[in-house]
Amino acid sequence: MSFQAPKGTFDWLPPRSEQVLAVREALVGPARLAGYGYIETPVFEDTQLFARGVGESTDIVSKEMYTFPDKAGRSLTLRPEGTASVVRAVLQHGLHNGQLPVKLWYSGSQFRYERAQKGRYRHFWQVGAEALGSEDPALDAEVVLLGAQGFASLGLTGVRLLINSLGDKTCRPTYRAALQEFLRGLDLDADTRARIEINPLRVLDDKRPEVQAQLTGAPLVIDHLCAACKSYHEEVRALLSAAGVAYEDDPRLVRGLDYYTRTTFEFVHDGLGSQSAVGGGGRYDGLSEMLGGPPLPSVGWALGVDRTVLAMEAEGLIDDTAPGRVQVYGVPLGDEARRRMFLLVTELRQAGVSADLAYGGKGLKGAMKGADRSGARFALILGERDLAAQAVQLKDLTTAEQTEVPLAQVVDVLKGKVQ
């Protein structure tokens, strides 16, 4: 029997996996420059953290979570998103009692039992940034800007930023009532009708064409904002414009989680088909209180690493030519030479030069084939005659030029050539 990865999951393999690591680093690079510190939370949490934080009426909680009892009968869930865990950790460890805002970034696996398709996986990787404990339009603008800079640093030009405001507890109830009244008059299935009563904004997020077709005249949240929310939103937009960030106002943008308030935004890429979102986020001022904490107004985003890689492929930014695994490849001929080459390769690595060697006692021809496959620029050939002379043959694999170098000098010589 041969095992396969579970449905809806995939493996990142070299050399592609190295590029994925670089994408992760690039996406969070701007946040790190802005003083965001790294946080790592458990892959599974108490189920109630997500039920309460993400929202009972969301598809994530009602249909998509990987939930299981542990051996003591506690209900645990593989995390479907990162924000609730970050807020839980901040509250648990009292980070909100220090300097505010608390600025954190994360990088990790998320899990959702979804209908598997390209760009929508059951195990996927996100990087995220959260700024907790401050209600300031400049912080919203900073968070959005950092996301935009992450995508730009990868050379992506097709990422569009959509932005909206969802109002707050002052003006949302009026809008919610107007939206419910409109939705109750539509021809919708029983599940969707039930959702109207629990969280009508989620109906606006329904991607089914037969639902979208009926939403044309739906009231817009932007028309129901109170004066405070309106001026807050104008300030966020003005700061983004001043920083040169292009955005599109999208009055229908609601996003799929219950905890968002005021600023909400999404990064989309048109080269991905139906799964066009590459990231998004917003302000979640009430989430701390939902989780039993004090008021902690916060804003953040999560960016999809695998979706970003797909967007880069769509723009031809992924280089499929395998980069060299190592810079130097050792070719030992004979047992004594292999023992000496093992030490030489170790010295090279300690000096910061990536190096590998031919294992398994291959002859010269087989070992040189390995050197070519490794992508190394230089081969080091060591035979019995070379050992007697305390030297090694250094072959440049791009020019085929070969020179003899004393063993005592080879590390310094190679450091000069590869750095």
Residue reference for tokens 């939103």: 233
Residue 192 belongs to a domain: no
Residues 291 and 151 in one domain: yes
- Region 320-334: mean pLDDT is 88
Residues 149 and 90 in one domain: yes
Q: What value does the mean pLDDT of the chain take?
A: 92
Rounded Cα distance, 313 and 308, in Å: 9
Q: What is the pTM of this model?
A: 0.90
Residue where a domain terminates, one of 314, 336, 353 = 314
Q: Quick one: pLDDT at residue 203?
A: 85
Residues 45 and 73 in one domain: yes
Q: Residue 122's Cα: distance from chain center in Å?
A: 14
Helix (H, G, I), strand (E, B) or coil at 140: helix
Q: What is the CATH number of the domain that holds 337?
A: 3.40.50.800
Residues 303 and 386 in one domain: no
Report the number of distinct structural domains present in the chain: 2
Q: What is the CATH number of the domain that holds 254?
A: 3.30.930.10
Question: Before 101, cis peptide (omega within 30)?
Answer: yes
Q: Could you tell me what percent of the chain has a pLDDT over 70?
A: 98
Residue 177 belongs to a domain: no
Residue where a domain terminates, one of 264, 286, 314 = 314
Residue where a domain terminates, one of 314, 338, 370 = 314
- Domain with 69, as residue range(s), is 16-171+225-314
Q: What is the pLDDT of residues 221-268, one digit of tens each?
A: 999 999 999 999 999 999 999 999 999 999 988 876 667 889 999 999
Residues 259 and 283 in one domain: yes
Residue reference for tokens 């990088």: 107
Query: Longest C-alpha distance within the chain, in Å?
Result: 92
Residues 288 and 349 in one domain: no
Residues 241 and 381 in one domain: no
Pick 82 or 190 by higher pLDDT. Answer: 82
Checking if the pLDDT of 165 tops 90, the result is yes
Contact assessment for residue 410 and residue 353, using Cβ atoms and an 8 Å cutoff? no
Residues 114 and 240 in one domain: yes
Q: What is the pLDDT of residues 23-60, one digit of tens each?
A: 999 999 999 999 999 999 999 999 999 998 887 767 77
Residues 152 and 290 in one domain: yes
Rounded Cα distance, 384 and 332, in Å: 9
Q: Quick one: pLDDT at residue 414?
A: 95
Rounded Cα distance, 335 and 314, in Å: 50
Residue 304 belongs to a domain: yes
Q: What is the pLDDT of residues 283-301, one digit of tens each?
A: 999 899 999 999 999 999 9
Alpha-carbon Rg for the chain in angstroms: 27
> At 312, is the pLDDT very low, low, confident or very high (cuts 50, 70, 90)?
very high
Residue 190 belongs to a domain: no
